[in-house]
Each structure stands twice: as C-alpha cells, then as structure tokens.
C-alpha cells in the first residue's frame, strides 16, 4: 500500500483537531469577542485585550487560530507604521452575536455534554451509553438536576433553536381544529406562545415540563391568558388534551422510553386527538451524505441514549403504543431535515 497523500493526511489532522476547534469556539463565545467588534468595523487586538481584560499576545495568537476557521478576519496591513492584529467580522463570527447561537455553543461545550462523549468507544461496542461511568449519574437529566447552571443553559439553548425554527414549524402545521394544546417538554414555552398567537381558536395551552425547568421560567407582562406553565413527568401522567406537541423530545429517548411516553399520552388524549412530533426525519437511503443527520444521531446516543428516527422507526413507535401515523410532513424537499410526524390513537 502506498503512503497517503499529504492532502489526505491534512484532512485527517483537521478532524483530529476537532476537540481543540470546538473548545476554541466555546472560549470565543464565553469571552463575547464577537460583541466587542461592531458589524461593519474592525478593532485592534490591543483594544480588544483591554476591553476583555485578557493577555494581549495570547489573544492575538488565539484570534489568528480563529481566523483559520473563518471566525473573524485579520486585515492586511500595508502601512508599515501600523502594527499587525486588526480584526473584522466574517459571516460566521457575526453569527456569534446572536443570543440563540451563543447559548447553543455554550450548552454544547458544557461539562455534561462533553463528558458524555468520553463513553463513545464503549457505546459503539455495546449499543448504549453508560452515563454512570461518564457523568456519575444514571442519565443526563439526573445530572442536570444537580447542575442548575447547565440546566438553565440547556433550556435557553433549546429556546434559541426553537426561535430559529418557529416560522418553519408553523408553516407546515395546522392547529385550527384544536381547543387545547399541551407542549410536552416545552421548556421556556416559546413554541406554545407562538402557536397561541397564531391560533385564536385555541382556548387553553399548557407548557408542561419538569419542576426545576418550570420554576426557572419567567414571562413578560403581556403573557397570553390562555397560557399556563405546569410541572410534571410525562412518564407518569400528562394533562388531558386534544393535541400534544413534542418538539425535539422523542429523539432524547430510546424506543422503550419513547413508547412509554406515547402510552402515557394515550391515557389522557381526547377522542380524535393528535400528537404532533417535530423531529429530524432520518433517511437511510442517502449514503455518504455530508450533512448533520449522522452526527445528530450519534450525539443523541451519547448524551441521552436517544436516536434520530427514520419513517420506519416512527412506525415502530406507533405500532407498539396504540397509535397510527396520519402523515409525515417535511418543511422542504431537502432530506434529513426537521419534519412533523402526526399520530392519532387507534
């Protein structure tokens, strides 16, 4: 066998340095560097270091590393009287000025997320992630209960993702026939608030999540009177309703747990009621695609023992929980993207 080409080795090295790159992105976000450079302006590393209260030379070295990932751009200096180290934004660094993006970066870099990946070798061998070994807790959710800052950050990150997708979700959803909607695992309640705002026919909306999440929620003065926060456990019982919403929830759980969630809903769903599940629709017919679906799937395994499901996987859940699939909707023709799977009770 001939030696690999230099270009191929470079690609391997780039993948190998993924941990360092993601940590650099997290630190850049923590320092809020993007917010200290105006969108249409530039700033010297000297001024940046003073504002950020960090070591100037090390910041310059750090910024140059970030530019290799298209995070910021160092300006060319033609005037010999000027020093090097003047940086401006790129489209990617501008993205870090968005609160939702920042929260997601910080959440993905938090200890609970990072430590969970330490068990990847054993997960590939056994098919399960042992959080007792990686986190010293039975699962991520028990870990978050004892790590309040990470729990709040998790909720904020999920709200940020929801905020980006709300227009898309509502574009292929119809809530016009429901009087009551319950958002299971709704976090800070953003999706439910938007559903209520767009559907005056809904008489009541309940944002349902665990107690520690609900206790951290705060709302403005103009909160819709139809909106209510309620704490509970969707493995035990859920409020009666004619529509249940689960956005990015079922992919957190393995098949056994997912079936149990559906069975809990089955006890409370009104006649003719529906379950709206918003999750990625995984298409295994696509081979060797350079998209995020495969990574999302493995990430769900590592942090939650969950999975991103194919249409066949959704059929399995329906069959084993007493439901049937009415329809699977995708927001675009692009495979492996967020979709809506609608279930009704048999």
Catalytic residues: 251
Q: Are 142 and 204 in contact (CB under 8 A)?
A: no
Q: Say whether 93 sits in a helix, a strand or coil.
A: helix
**For residues 46 and 51, what is the distance between their CA atoms, to the nearest angstrom?**
9
Q: How many CA atoms within 13 Å lie on the side-chain side of 320?
A: 13
Q: Closest Cα to residue 276, out of 304, 248, 238? A: 248
C-beta atoms surrounding 93 within 10 Å: 22
C-beta atoms surrounding 57 within 10 Å: 10
Which one-letter DSSP state was computed for residue 330? E
**For residues 234 and 206, what is the distance between their CA atoms, to the nearest angstrom?**
13
**For residues 244 and 242, what is the distance between their CA atoms, to the nearest angstrom?**
7
Q: Say whether 239 sits in a helix, a strand or coil.
A: coil
**For residues 305 and 161, what is the distance between their CA atoms, to the nearest angstrom?**
21
Q: How many whole angstroms from its chain centre is CA 253? A: 15
Cα distances (angstroms) measured from residue 212 to each of 147, 302, 320: 11, 23, 31
Cα distances (angstroms) measured from residue 221 to each of 213, 224, 225, 274: 20, 9, 10, 31
């Amino acid at each position: 066998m001939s030696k690999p080409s230099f270009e191929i080795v470079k690609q391997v090295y780039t993948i190998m340095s993924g941990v360092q790159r993601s940590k650099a992105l997290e630190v850049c976000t923590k320092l809020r560097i993007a917010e200290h450079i105006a969108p249409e302006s530039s700033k010297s590393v000297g001024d940046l270091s003073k504002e950020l209260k960090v070591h100037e030379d090390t910041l310059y070295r750090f910024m140059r590393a970030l530019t290799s990932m298209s995070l910021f751009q160092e300006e060319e200096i033609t005037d010999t009287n000027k020093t090097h180290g003047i940086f401006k934004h790129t489209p990617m660094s501008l993205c870090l000025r968005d609160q939702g993006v920042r929260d997601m970066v910080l959440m993905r870099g938090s200890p609970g997320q990072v430590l969970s990946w330490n068990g990847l070798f054993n997960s590939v061998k056994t098919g399960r992630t042992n959080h007792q070994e990686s986190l010293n807790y039975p699962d991520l959710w028990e870990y978050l209960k004892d790590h309040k800052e990470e729990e709040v950050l998790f909720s904020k990150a999920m709200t940020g993702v929801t905020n980006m997708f709300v227009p898309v979700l509502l574009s292929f959803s119809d809530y016009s026939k429901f009087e009551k909607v319950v958002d299971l695992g709704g976090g800070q309640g953003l999706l439910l608030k938007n559903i209520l705002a767009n559907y005056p026919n809904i008489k009541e909306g309940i944002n349902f999540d665990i107690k520690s999440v609900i206790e951290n929620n705060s709302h403005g003065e103009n909160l819709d009177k139809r909106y209510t926060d309620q704490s509970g456990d969707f493995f035990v019982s859920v409020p009666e309703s004619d529509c249940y919403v689960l956005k990015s929830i079922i992919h957190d759980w393995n098949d056994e747990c997912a079936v149990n969630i559906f069975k809990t809903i089955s006890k409370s769903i009104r006649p003719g009621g529906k379950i709206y599940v918003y999750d990625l629709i995984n298409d295994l017919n696509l081979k060797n695609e350079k998209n995020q679906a495969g990574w999302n799937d493995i990430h769900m395994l590592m942090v939650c023992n969950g999975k991103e499901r194919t249409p066949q996987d959704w059929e399995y859940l329906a069959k084993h929980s007493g439901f049937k699939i009415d329809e699977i909707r995708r927001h675009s023709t692009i495979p492996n993207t967020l979709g809506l799977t609608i279930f009704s009770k048999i």
